[in-house]
Structure formats: structure tokens, C-alpha cells
Structure 1
Amino acid sequence: MSRALLVIDVQESFRQRPIWRAGSNPDVVGQVSRLVDAARDNGDLVVWVLHSEPDTGDVFDPVNGHVRLIAPLAAQTGEPVLTKTSRNAFTTTNLHQLLTTGGIRELVVCGIQTEQCCETTTRLAADLGFEVTFVTDATATFPIPHRDAPAGRSVEEIIADPRTLGTAEIVTRTEYALAGRFATIRTVDELTSPVGAAPVG
């Protein structure tokens, strides 16, 4: 086993936010599930990562019960489930040690959010020497309000603001930033085909 699938923050917390309905990828759970099935069939390690913000009182505070995988996603016996408190999946977990002691050299990254935890993890993984595949269509993100926009606006107001960065532009920017520098961009179809499911490299 030399490859691992990192499933980042595909958790109920996001579904509790009103902005969920404006997400870039309504089928992100289904797409991630396809990657998980292919990884298991191929004998790759599946690593689940959850984001936690203790003592905040919001949807990422574990006391509220939303820091859990979105059903029907579920870890199987032997699949690590890590909880992070930073944007990337390495800094506040033992992920690096887990991967290196397991002989993992290649990572496939998917999850939420495209340009935040997924992209940040990818950049750091590449700097650490891993060969990274970024599966954009198994990630999801949400419109980003302008930094000067007032807080507390509705989803409709955020989307209507011409200064809001839309999801298509976010995804395009992430792919431009990562491709050829930090990762190879692949699709779920490519990785779940009989050829694509074989280890890369």
C-alpha cells in the first residue's frame, strides 16, 4: 500500500449552514463515496478528517453533534478518523506520522472546502514530498462574500452582490494554483475507471 485517499471535512457541520444550498457540488457526498469505494477495492488506505472548533458554539463545535461524517459515508475498521483544528489536515493531527510510517507516498485529496482545507492540505502535502492528486469534482465550496461586505446577510444577498466570489471562479482559481505545482488534477471518473483505479506513478 503506497497510496491514501484523504477525505477532508465531508461533515454534517456544513449542511447545517444556510450557504449549503449554494454549494458548488450538490453531489459531493456521492462523488466522495465513489472514490472511497474505489480506494477500498484497490487496497488503498482511506483517511477521514473532520474539522472541529471547540468552545465556539457554532456548527463546528463538537458539543453540538455536527462534527461527524455526512451519511451514508462511514469509516470502516482500520480506517483512521482524525480531527483537526487548523485549515490543513497536518498541523494539528498526526497525519504526517501516520502516512510516513505506513509507507504512503501518494495522496488523493477530496472533500470540503475546495479552496480552503482541501487546497491548503494539498499544498502542504506537496511541500512534504507527497505526490498529490486533487479530485476537484469530489470537492465542494461556497460563494465567498467580499471582505468589506456586511455580516449577517442572507444567502440570496450574498449571491446577488457582484463583489461575491462565485463557486465556479473559486474552483478555477484552485485548479490553476495547484496544477503543475502542487498536484495533478483528476476527475472521479478517471480515478474510478479500471485504469484510473490502479496506483499512479
Structure 2
Amino acid sequence: MSDTNYYTILQISASASQEEVKDAYRRLVKQFHPDLNLTTAANHERMAAINAAYEVLGDPQHRQSYDEQRQRCRTIGQTVPNPQRGHDLELQWWFSQVYHPVCHLIDGILEPLPSQLNALAADPFDDDLMAEFQSYLDRCQQSLALAQRCFQMMPNPTEVAKVATNLFYCLSLIGDGLEEMDRFSQCFNDYYLHTGQELFRHAANAYDRANV
């Protein structure tokens, strides 16, 4: 990832609007998603790069931070951020490319759970309510897979080893919790639901320890 440029990955200019960013992402997903295009095994790596780029450029705040980082790099003679050039830049790049996108995905998993459970509590045997809960679980699984790929995209700097360890632990607990809640959606055994909630609680604690 020494010459990673998220705008180049999404095939757009740095002045593209947020709507153009979204359109480019959708077009590239259709073109390179392994489930839609089986012509090359390299699609998996290409999709990981596309997803990582969209997680940053698709969020206005993350995009602003990324643009500011690119500008700082240009002022010191680097056209593209490179995690191998300079100790401080390595840390900044890790936060921009890994930490912030992963945290954004974790927030999208953990924060909706209480409202989802409150809605389901009205009648767990209601087909529509259960379908909505299962849809939430499916979205969480997709976000988790993306977060795990993003987390593995570059080595963790030694200075953030504890932060990275807690993020990894959080993602693992989320995965286990989703499995337990999915079992509940299949058999309506409250044990699995409570176990899933407890695992999410531990995941939230690990996530808190990872916040810097």
C-alpha cells in the first residue's frame, strides 16, 4: 500500500462530489465483487481496496481528514502517503486507513442493538419483527467482514499495539455475539439471545479501551 490513493482506486477526481463517490463505488462493486464476477481471484483483493477507499471517502469527516493528510504529505515532498516514510506519518496513516474506518463500522454494529432488541421485545414471534432483526444481523455480518479486512490491510505500528489488540478482541467478540443471536433467531431460545448480548457488552468494553 505504499502508493495508495483512494481517489485513484475509485477512479474519480479529488474534487468529486459525495454523490459521485457513491456512484463510483456502486459501479466498481458491480464490476469487481467476487460474487458477481468470477473471472479472477484477484477480485477479492481489489474489492478490499475498493471497500477501504469508500469507507474513507464515503464519510465526509473521514474524507476531510484524508485530504488534509494528503496535503501535508505534498508539502513535504510526498505525492502520496506512504506508511514506510517517517515514524509520525506511519501512525497518521494507520489511523486514517485502519483505525477510523474500523471504528466507524463497529459503531454501526453496536449502537443499533438496544433499539433492535426493544423492537423485537414487543413480540419475538412476530414474523415481521424477527425479519427486521435478522436483517440487522445480516448488516452486522457484512460490516464485520469489512472491518476485519480493513484491520488486516497493513501492520499495526508498535505504539498502538494495545489499541489494535483491543480492536481485534472487540471484532472477535462481535463475531461470537452475532453467531449466538443468529441461533436465537432460528430457535427462539432466550439463552442464545442473552449470551449474544453479553458478548456484545464485552465487545463494547474492549472498544472503549481501544478509543484514543
Scaled by the length of structure 2, the TM-score of the pair is: 0.28
User: More strand by proportion, 1 or 2?
Assistant: 1
User: More helix by proportion, 1 or 2?
Assistant: 2
Bigger-Rg structure (1/2): 2
Scaled by the length of structure 1, the TM-score of the pair is: 0.29
Higher relative contact order structure (alpha carbons within 8 Å, sequence separation ≥ 6): 1
